[in-house]
């Protein structure tokens, strides 16, 4: 049963939520490969329909024998407060503990009999429940998803049992220093705002013996406040017929309310960015995990593509990479030649009205200062001296990355769901290609100057971080007195 009903609410799930990108490589039948131009022309259309209650239905038909169908909801830790932080993640756990119609054993048997996989994840702004199954079993899959989302049993005994599971998972996450570092980065960058909260929530909210503990009432209130039809998208990809999917949506989801109690529609409060640093020093760890970031672009900002190209110019590196000093990324070559770090990656986490653009690296305690210097130097190069050849390489790398990531019905379905929530539509593949092609060296310099140059960074560090420079020194490296 473990292979059929599972959760991906932590590292894997959030990586899926953050990193899936809107490019699809379509291979025509009878051909071993196609050109990039052919993939642009051959991308299937994404169809969109809205039900009377505001729930949107979106699908992409590819003719596969399998499909992925799921419900994407505009709800996550950003919609929580200090008291109920972790409620969305708790509900994700409870989703597979049975519904009013299907107790846990019956639910597992239903999924198992279809040979399907039922999964879920929660991020800061989105929650998703989805199932991969044979195309012929689409009606049953939609019915089970409707049960999980609308009729979760929330049995008191199961809630108490899941507290222990949550606490063990929190302990596991504490052992993943990348997760810890990036959560700390959000906590300091968006301090005092809901976006600074972790998806899992604090352990005090999961414990049974604490006055702040999450209760069944908290979970029910969360569902009643956020699981509303206009904030939901039923998305599907693979061997699906759009008209059939719309009919299934009407049969199973028409009863979801679109009204809020007292017309109190939840409104996201602005999440201000604060330049600051947070250090969790522990000399017992073998390596230091450090992230530095500035406020990035929102998911709908026109600056998002130039910033993605800029991140591809910086690139990533790991000790397992081959190539050595012949790597295309300048920072990667420096990392190899000067033994600066074990790994690094440029990242951009986008949210509805803000974002985080940064570099995360893992290094020896004696190389922290050097790696931080060259990371900030890479940013300054983007703002001042980036060349057309750099940008061309970055654009090619971005296209290759985007094309390669959507390699199955599940990532395509996830991409559809998040696009409808973020943009109100699925942005066509050709449009993304045109946006990437429009980026020039001048555009990269201008956009990076807007977001990076002489801006206060947020820094998070975990491990043996004594050598991490003082914040004022890192702040002074965010500009050059000469080009």
Q: Per the structure block, which two tokens stand in for 13?
A: 């799930």
* Matching fold, domains 44-254 and 276-477: yes
Kindly list the domain boundaries of the chain, sorted by start residue. 44-254, 276-477
Q: 181 near 174, Cβ under 8 Å?
A: no
DSSP 3-state helix, strand, coil percentages of the chain (rounded to 5)?
A: 45, 20, 35
Which pLDDT value is given to residue 259? 81
Residues 5 and 125: their CA atoms lie apart, in Å, by 23
CATH code that applies to domain 276-477: 3.30.830.10
Which pLDDT value is given to residue 326? 86
Residue 466's H or E segment, with its range, is none
Mean pLDDT by 10 residues, the chain (483 residues): 46 41 36 66 88 95 93 94 91 87 92 94 96 96 94 86 89 93 97 94 81 84 91 96 96 88 72 96 97 97 97 94 85 94 96 96 97 97 96 94 84 95 91 95 98 98 97 96 67
Residue 281's H or E segment, with its range, is strand 276-281
Which pLDDT value is given to residue 2? 39
Name 342's Cβ contacts closer than 8 Å, sequence gap at least 6. 287, 318, 319, 362, 363, 364
Q: 227 near 145, Cβ under 8 Å?
A: no
Which pLDDT value is given to residue 151? 87
Q: Per the structure block, which two tokens stand in for 311?
A: 């991140």
Choice among 60, 61, 80, 92 that is catalytic: 92
Q: What are the residues facing 58 on neighbouring strands?
A: 48, 235
Full-model pTM: 0.89
388 is catalytic: no
Q: Per the structure block, which two tokens stand in for 48?
A: 């969109």
In words, the CATH class of domain 44-254 is alpha beta
């Amino acid at each position: 049963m473990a292979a059929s009903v599972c959760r991906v609410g932590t590292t894997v799930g959030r990586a899926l939520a953050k990193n899936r990108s809107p490019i699809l490589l379509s291979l025509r039948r009878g051909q071993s490969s196609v050109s990039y131009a052919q993939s642009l022309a051959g991308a299937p259309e994404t169809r969109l329909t809205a039900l009377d209650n505001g729930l949107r239905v979106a699908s992409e038909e590819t003719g596969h024998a399998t499909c992925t169908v799921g419900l994407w909801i505009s709800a996550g830790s950003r919609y929580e407060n200090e008291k109920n932080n972790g409620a969305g993640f708790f509900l994700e756990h409870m989703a597979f503990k049975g519904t009013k119609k299907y107790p846990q054993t019956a639910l597992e048997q239903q999924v198992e009999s279809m040979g399907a996989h039922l999964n879920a994840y929660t991020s800061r702004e989105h929650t998703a429940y989805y199932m991969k199954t044979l195309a012929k079993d689409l009606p049953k899959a939609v019915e089970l998803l409707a049960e999980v989302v609308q009729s979760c049993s929330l049995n008191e005994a199961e809630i108490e049992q899941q507290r222990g599971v949550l606490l063990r998972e929190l302990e596991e996450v504490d052992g993943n220093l990348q997760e810890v570092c990036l959560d700390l980065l959000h906590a300091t960058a968006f301090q005092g705002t809901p976006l600074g909260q972790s998806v899992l929530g604090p352990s005090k909210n999961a414990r049974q013996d604490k006055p702040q503990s999450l209760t069944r009432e908290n979970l029910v209130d969360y569902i009643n406040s956020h699981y509303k039809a206009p904030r939901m998208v039923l998305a599907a990809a693979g061997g699906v017929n759009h008209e059939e999917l719309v009919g299934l949506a009407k049969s199973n989801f028409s009863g979801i309310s679109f009204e809020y109690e007292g017309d109190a529609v939840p409104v996201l409060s602005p999440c201000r960015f604060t330049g600051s640093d947070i250090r969790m020093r522990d000399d017992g760890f073998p390596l230091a995990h450090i992230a530095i970031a500035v406020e990035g672009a929102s998911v709908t900002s026109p600056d998002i593509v130039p910033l993605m190209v800029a991140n591809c110019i910086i690139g990533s590196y790991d000790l397992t990479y081959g190539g050595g000093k012949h790597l295309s990324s300048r920072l990667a070559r420096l990392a190899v030649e000067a033994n600066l770090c074990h790994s690094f990656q440029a990242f951009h986490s986008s949210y509805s009205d803000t974002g985080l653009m940064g570099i995360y690296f893992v290094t020896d305690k004696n190389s922290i200062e050097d790696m931080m210097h060259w990371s900030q130097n890479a940013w300054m190069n983007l703002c001042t001296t980036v060349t057309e050849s750099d940008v061309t390489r970055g654009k090619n790398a971005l296209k290759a990355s985007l094309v390669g990531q959507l390699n199955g019905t599940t990532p395509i379905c996830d991409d559809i769901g998040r696009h409808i929530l973020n943009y109100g539509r699925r942005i066509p593949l050709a449009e993304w290609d045109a946006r990437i092609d429009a980026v020039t060296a001048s555009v990269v310099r201008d956009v990076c100057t807007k977001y990076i140059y002489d801006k206060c960074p947020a820094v998070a560090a975990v491990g043996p971080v004594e050598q991490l420079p003082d914040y004022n020194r890192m702040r002074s490296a965010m500009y050059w007195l000469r080009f």
